[in-house]
């Protein structure tokens, strides 16, 4: 996905806040005339519909929550600085998402979307380094670099642009067969052609550097995170990256930009950690709260880093290597030890080696709880992994007990894990003995999920969990509607319409039905059909 995503990271740096007051283009700007906000969002949504359908699109609640805990303060600071005005704020998505890819890359897409490869999360040594990348990509969006780049490439149709951006996903997974190799070569050559038209100019990269620096330092992240990222990129550019660092080719580092990154560390004002990034608000695919409210934790980033390393390559041989690290790798610092234990615990869970998983989880918990002052955020990260492991083996009571201290934090991972535990309890052979209590628990989880999706209507996993619970509670029409909404969240409007029509047929087949449920299904089907027609019109307009 990396090289074709041409709005890619040129990697962060920046100037002092006083020098970072670049604002959005005026109404007379060619980018506004040729590629307005509405058009940009339409194109971005079209690209994201394709990306969400791809197997490499990853909705891991734990990693995504951590990514958003860094992203939201940056967006809030961009608003404070005036980089995002009210009109743009309400019309773009401002959504980060994850890509299961080992390459080190991040990229901005039209419409306010930012993709982050697991390989990038796995190589950043601190939350500040990762935040610097996000701030750089966010600045490409707020400064409308995407619109300005596309406006300068009028002979490239928007629809073919979208196809080329998405096409590299297939190329990244191409096998060794001749057919796959040929397809990959075709897609790669198309992507390379698009790259030349979409790469940001050096001036745009410098602007994203300095605006991104002001945003990240104003949001409370350490300015040194940007310089540290440049140091890593500089080192990587001196070595053969074997295709693992795609932005080094699409956005080559220059000595000037590296020097500026180092100089800004000495001229930036001391920054304060943002106290409240912003109130909870709807995002394109789910939650906006971090769940944990304790101060920032270096070990929490270590846990996210370890999780990224394991999930970016879930092949059996790779999992066995990660599993073996706990105790086999020389670990000097607490962070190194935690990374090894977390990697082994997650890999063991995926391999269903429960004894090894329990041992590594115990090691990780001892590390985050030791040292006199427990690290609450890092402990929560390990406990979420523990609950995941316990649910995978069917130890429901222990999983619920592990989640209990965090049950009231209102976070997405806890909400989804608790719903999964309730569903597993209802399906257990012994469920009949405690049916009333299980039904009460399911109703409570259904209420919690309904509240969640009311605020986060494009959270596919939450809608799916709600559908499964409604089915268990004997509410078939509500279950069908929730299943349809999960498909809407993924951009599958055709599948959603089919599910709603199935609901209509079920309602007409007889039996007791709730009139309100029937009305909701009818109304949502009309809305979805209108949106499908609008999407078809938009795609024709792109040609």
Question: Is the four-CA dihedral 326, 332, 334, 335 of positive or negative sign?
Answer: negative
> Residue ranges of the alpha helices (H) in 220-315?
224-237, 247-250, 255-267, 298-311
Q: What is the pLDDT of residue 331?
A: 62
143 with 42, same domain? Answer: yes
38: in domain: yes
Q: Is 62 exposed, middle or buried (0-12, 13-18, 19+ CB in 10 A)?
A: buried
Q: Read off the pLDDT band of 254 (50, 70, 90).
A: low
Tell me how far CA of residue 333 lies from CA of 160, 232, 274, 297, in angstroms. 49, 21, 28, 15
Decide: 306 and 346 in contact? Cβ < 8 Å. yes
> Which of 366, 387, 409 corresponds to the end of one domain?
409
Mean pLDDT (the chain) is 80
Q: What is the pLDDT of residue 486?
A: 98
199 with 317, same domain? Answer: no
> Residue 106: what are its φ and ψ, rounded to 5°?
-150, 155
Tokens standing for residue 534: 């609008």
Q: What is the pLDDT of residue 376?
A: 92
- Domain range for 313: 291-409
The whole-angstrom separation of Cα 67 and Cα 97 is: 8
241 with 380, same domain? Answer: no
The whole-angstrom separation of Cα 109 and Cα 491 is: 16
432: in domain: no
> Which of 409, 432, 452 corresponds to the end of one domain?
409
Task: Supply angle C-alpha 93, 81, 200, rounded to 5.
Answer: 60
Catalytic residue from among 95, 101, 128, 209: 209
Task: Supply angle C-alpha 254, 260, 266, rounded to 5.
Answer: 155
Q: Is 519 exposed, middle or buried (0-12, 13-18, 19+ CB in 10 A)?
A: exposed
Helix 515-542 × helix 158-172 angle, to 10°: 100
286 torsion bin: left (phi>0), alpha (psi -120 to 50), beta (else): left
Q: What is the CA radius of gyration of the chain?
A: 24
What would the DSSP string read from start to end of 492-533? -HHHHHHHHHHHHHHHHT-S---HHHHHHHHHHHHHHHHHHH
Residue with tokens 């009460």: 440
Q: What is the pLDDT of residue 226?
A: 85
Catalytic residue from among 40, 65, 101, 137: 137
Strand partners, 58: 98
436: in domain: no
Work out the percent of the chain whose per-residue pLDDT is above 90: 54
Q: What is the pLDDT of residue 165?
A: 57
> Which of 409, 429, 452 corresponds to the end of one domain?
409
The whole-angstrom separation of Cα 186 and Cα 167 is: 10
516: in domain: no
258 with 297, same domain? Answer: no
Q: Read off the pLDDT band of 288 (50, 70, 90).
A: very low
296 with 263, same domain? Answer: no
Work out the percent of the chain whose per-residue pLDDT is above 70: 71
Q: What is the pLDDT of residue 157?
A: 56
The whole-angstrom separation of Cα 246 and Cα 9 is: 9
249 with 341, same domain? Answer: no
233 with 370, same domain? Answer: no
Q: Read off the pLDDT band of 287 (50, 70, 90).
A: very low
Decide: 493 and 527 in contact? Cβ < 8 Å. no
Q: What is the pLDDT of residue 238?
A: 60
In the chain, the number of structural domains is 2
25 with 129, same domain? Answer: yes
524: in domain: no
231 with 355, same domain? Answer: no
> Residue 57: what are its φ and ψ, rounded to 5°?
-75, 125
68 with 190, same domain? Answer: yes
68: in domain: yes
Mark whether 209 is an active-site residue. yes
The pTM (predicted TM-score) of the whole model is 0.83
Query: By three-state DSSP, how is residue 279 classified?
Result: coil
pLDDT digits (tens, 9 = 90+) for 432-447: 778 889 999 999 999 9
pLDDT digits (tens, 9 = 90+) for 418-476: 999 999 999 998 877 788 899 999 999 999 999 999 999 999 999 999 999 999 999 99
The whole-angstrom separation of Cα 74 and Cα 216 is: 6
- 108-127: b or e for each residue (b if 16 or more CB lie within 10 Å)? bbbbbbbbbbbbbbbbbbbb
Q: What is the pLDDT of residue 345?
A: 97
Q: What is the pLDDT of residue 472?
A: 96
Taking residues 82-109, what's their average pLDDT? 92
pLDDT digits (tens, 9 = 90+) for 59-73: 999 999 999 999 999
421: in domain: no
Decide: 59 and 116 in contact? Cβ < 8 Å. no
Q: What is the pLDDT of residue 159?
A: 56
Q: What is the pLDDT of residue 543?
A: 60
Mark whether 234 is an active-site residue. no
107 with 151, same domain? Answer: yes
157: in domain: yes
Q: Read off the pLDDT band of 514 (50, 70, 90).
A: confident
Decide: 473 and 450 in contact? Cβ < 8 Å. no
261 with 295, same domain? Answer: no
In this predicted structure, the answer to whether residue 478 has a pLDDT above a threshold of 80 is: yes
């Amino acid at each position: 996905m990396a090289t074709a995503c041409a709005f890619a990271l040129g990697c962060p740096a920046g100037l002092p806040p006083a020098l970072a007051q670049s604002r959005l283009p005026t109404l007379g700007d060619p980018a506004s005339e040729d590629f307005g906000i509405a058009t940009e969002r339409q194109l971005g949504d079209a690209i994201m519909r394709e990306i969400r359908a791809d197997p490499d699109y990853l909705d891991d609640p734990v990693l995504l929550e951590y990514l958003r805990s860094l992203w939201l303060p940056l967006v809030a600071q961009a608003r404070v600085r005036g980089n995002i005005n009210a009109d743009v704020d309400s019309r773009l998505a401002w959504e980060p998402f994850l890509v299961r890819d080992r390459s080190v890359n991040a990229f901005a897409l039209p419409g306010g979307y930012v993709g982050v490869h697991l390989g990038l999360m796995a190589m950043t040594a601190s939350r500040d380094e990762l935040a610097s990348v996000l701030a750089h990509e966010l600045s490409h969006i707020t400064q409308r670099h995407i619109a300005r780049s596309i406006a300068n490439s009028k002979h490239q149709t928007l629809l073919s642009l979208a196809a080329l951006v998405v096409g590299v996903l297939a190329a990244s997974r191409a096998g060794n067969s001749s057919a796959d190799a040929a397809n990959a070569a075709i897609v790669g050559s198309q992507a390379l052609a698009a790259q030349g038209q979409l790469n940001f100019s050096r001036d745009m990269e410098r602007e994203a550097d300095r605006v991104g620096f002001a945003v990240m330092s104003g949001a409370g992240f350490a300015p040194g995170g940007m310089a540290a990222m440049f140091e890593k990129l500089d080192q990587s550019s001196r070595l053969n990256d074997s295709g693992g660092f795609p932005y080094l080719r699409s956005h080559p580092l220059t000595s000037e930009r590296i020097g500026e990154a180092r100089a800004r560390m000495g001229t930036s004002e001391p920054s304060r950690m943002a106290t409240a990034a912003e109130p909870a608000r709807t995002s394109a695919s789910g939650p906006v709260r971090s769940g944990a409210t304790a101060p920032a934790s270096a070990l929490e980033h270590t846990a996210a880093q370890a999780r990224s390393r394991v999930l970016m390559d879930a092949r059996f041989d790779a999992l066995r290597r990660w599993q073996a690290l706990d105790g086999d790798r020389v670990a000097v610092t607490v962070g190194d030890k935690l990374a090894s234990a977390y990697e082994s615990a997650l890999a063991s869970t995926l391999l269903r080696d429960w004894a090894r998983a329990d041992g590594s989880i115990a090691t990780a918990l001892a590390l985050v709880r030791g040292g006199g002052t427990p690290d609450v955020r890092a402990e929560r990260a390990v406990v979420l992994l523990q609950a995941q492991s316990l649910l995978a083996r069917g130890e429901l009571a222990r999983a619920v007990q592990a989640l209990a201290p965090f049950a009231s934090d209102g976070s997405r991972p806890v909400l989804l894990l608790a719903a999964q535990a309730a569903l597993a309890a209802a399906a257990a052979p012994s469920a009949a003995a405690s049916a009333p209590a299980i039904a009460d628990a399911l109703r409570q989880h259904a209420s919690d999920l309904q509240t969640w999706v009311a605020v986060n209507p494009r959270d596919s996993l939450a809608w799916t969990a709600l559908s499964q619970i409604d089915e268990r509670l004997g509410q078939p029409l509500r279950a069908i509607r929730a299943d349809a909404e999960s498909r809407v969240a993924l951009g599958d409007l055709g599948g959603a319409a089919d599910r709603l029509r199935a609901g209509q047929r079920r309602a007409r087949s007889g039996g007791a039905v709730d009139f309100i449920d029937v009305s909701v299904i009818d109304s949502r089907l009309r809305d979805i059909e209108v949106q499908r027609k609008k999407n078809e019109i938009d795609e024709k307009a792109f040609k």
